[in-house]
């Protein structure tokens, strides 16, 4: 394959990923690798596309090939770090992402992925700093703006999240992640129909737009008589952060036990029993809620695969 042809297919694949259409990136990458299986860049970009499609085992294979073919390439280490993150191998993923930053300090994308990893580790301040640095390196990248907006949304800063969503959409009105971010902002504000519409717009990218499907499932949970309260509770706990959320759960249990023992000591056994039933009902509700939400998401995935209105 001529270098010019190779570059053209790589540009098409990169553009499809930028547009939030990982499925559209696969064919040009396959064309490159059919002609020359030793192109490390194609394997690495293929890994990122497969990762977006949630095909994490195939992505790991491609990412491994990328690093083996180009052990000093920043993109190869970024792709492998991102895939290892999806496999929950956080320490090894961190090493590859930090290596990618060392090899290419001006590339913002490894910092974005490392920010996700730091968030998973409960190091939200570090994650925010990484995203801010990434945005400083490329202020006009809608994907970075959307990620920074999601970071603020997770912390409960809805107005900041909305600002970043609007900036991203002003640069790219059909950017999938920015549409999903805007939809979540609208949902938090109670604008359910508008949030649903943003999910539908994001789904125009195809059935692989998992973030849009999650938004659509969240819309339906918000409307549900059974799941609506769980959705609000889940959002609140998410805004607290993992560590504070654990403290809230432990504190609630301690408070319940103290009250139950106090009522028993006061001879109010029926109130203590009632309190115990309330606590057990709450535990069951918070346990069942996530599984019901996952089933709602699976239904949306099934509808899309069957070729429904999306």
**Closest CA relative to residue 217, chosen from 160, 299, 142:** 299
Over residues 241-261, mean pLDDT: 70
Look at the domain 1-132 and name its fold.
1.25.40
**Higher per-residue confidence, 207 vs 6:** 6
Report domain extents, the chain: 1-132
Is pLDDT at 307 greater than 50 in this prediction? Answer: no
Over residues 66-72, mean pLDDT: 95
Is pLDDT at 213 greater than 80 in this prediction? Answer: no
Q: Are 79 and 45 in contact (CB under 8 A)?
A: yes
Is pLDDT at 49 greater than 60 in this prediction? Answer: yes
Alpha helices in 36-141, H assignment, sequence order: 40-52, 56-69, 74-86, 90-103, 109-120, 124-137
CA neighbours closer than 13 Å in the CB half-sphere of residue 155: 17
Over residues 159-166, mean pLDDT: 94
Report the 10 Å Cβ neighbour count for 195: 23
Cα–Cα distance measured from residue 84 to residue 86, given in angstroms and rounded to the nearest whole number: 5
Give burial (CB, 10 Å; 0-12/13-18/19+) of 98.
Answer: middle
The pLDDT of residue 1 is 44
Over residues 2-20, mean pLDDT: 80
Q: pTM for this one?
A: 0.70
Over residues 158-172, mean pLDDT: 93
Tokens (6 digits) for 165: 């969503």
Cα distances (angstroms) measured from residue 202 to each of 206, 268, 310: 8, 55, 10
Q: Could you report the per-residue pLDDT of 79-93, keeping only the tens digit for each? A: 999 999 999 999 999
Q: How confident is the model at residue 99 (pLDDT cuts 50, 70, 90)?
A: very high
Which residues fall within 8 angstroms of residue 197, CB to CB, at 6 or more apart? 183
Q: Which of 49-58, 114-123, 216-225 is least confident?
A: 216-225
Over residues 64-82, mean pLDDT: 96
Q: Is the dihedral of CA 65, 70, 76, 81 positive or negative?
A: positive
The pLDDT of residue 239 is 56
Give burial (CB, 10 Å; 0-12/13-18/19+) of 170.
Answer: exposed
Mean pLDDT, the chain, as a whole number?
A: 82
Q: What percent of the chain has pLDDT over 90?
A: 42
Q: How confident is the model at residue 310 (pLDDT cuts 50, 70, 90)?
A: very low
The pLDDT of residue 309 is 40
Cα distances (angstroms) measured from residue 48 to each of 3, 81, 143: 22, 10, 14
Cα–Cα distance measured from residue 29 to residue 46, given in angstroms and rounded to the nearest whole number: 7
Q: Which of 120-129, 146-155, 230-239 is least confident?
A: 230-239
Tokens (6 digits) for 129: 């700093």
Q: Is the dihedral of CA 84, 87, 89, 90 positive or negative?
A: positive
Cα–Cα distance measured from residue 32 to residue 79, given in angstroms and rounded to the nearest whole number: 18
E-only strand ranges, 83-231: none
């Amino acid at each position: 394959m001529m270098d010019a042809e190779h570059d053209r297919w790589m540009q098409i694949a990169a553009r499809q990923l930028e547009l939030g259409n990982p499925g559209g990136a696969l064919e040009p990458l396959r064309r490159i690798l059919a002609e020359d299986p030793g192109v490390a860049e194609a394997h690495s970009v293929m890994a990122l596309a497969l990762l977006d499609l949630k095909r994490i085992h195939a992505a790991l294979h491609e990412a491994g090939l990328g690093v083996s073919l180009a052990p000093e390439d920043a993109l190869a280490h970024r792709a492998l770090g991102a895939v290892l993150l999806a496999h929950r191998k956080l320490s090894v993923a961190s090493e590859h992402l930090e290596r990618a930053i060392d090899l290419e300090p001006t590339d913002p994308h490894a910092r974005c992925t490392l920010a996700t990893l730091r968030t998973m580790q409960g190091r939200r301040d570090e994650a925010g700093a990484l995203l801010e640095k990434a945005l400083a390196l490329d202020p006009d990248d809608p994907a970075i703006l959307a990620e920074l907006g999601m970071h603020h949304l997770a912390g409960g800063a809805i107005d900041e999240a909305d600002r970043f969503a609007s900036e991203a959409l002003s640069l790219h009105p059909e950017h999938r992640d920015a549409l999903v971010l805007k939809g979540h902002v609208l949902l938090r504000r109670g604008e359910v129909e508008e949030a649903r519409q943003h999910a539908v717009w994001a789904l125009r990218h195809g059935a692989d737009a998992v973030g849009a499907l999650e938004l659509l499932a969240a819309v339906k949970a918000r409307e549900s008589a059974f799941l609506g309260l769980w959705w609000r509770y889940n959002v609140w706990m998410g805004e607290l952060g993992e560590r504070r959320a654990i403290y809230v759960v432990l504190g609630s249990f301690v408070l319940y036990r103290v009250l139950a023992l106090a009522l028993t000591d006061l001879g109010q056994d029926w109130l203590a029993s009632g309190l115990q039933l309330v606590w057990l009902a709450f535990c069951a509700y918070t346990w069942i809620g996530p599984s019901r939400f996952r089933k709602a998401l699976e239904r949306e995935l099934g509808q899309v695969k069957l070729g429904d209105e999306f």
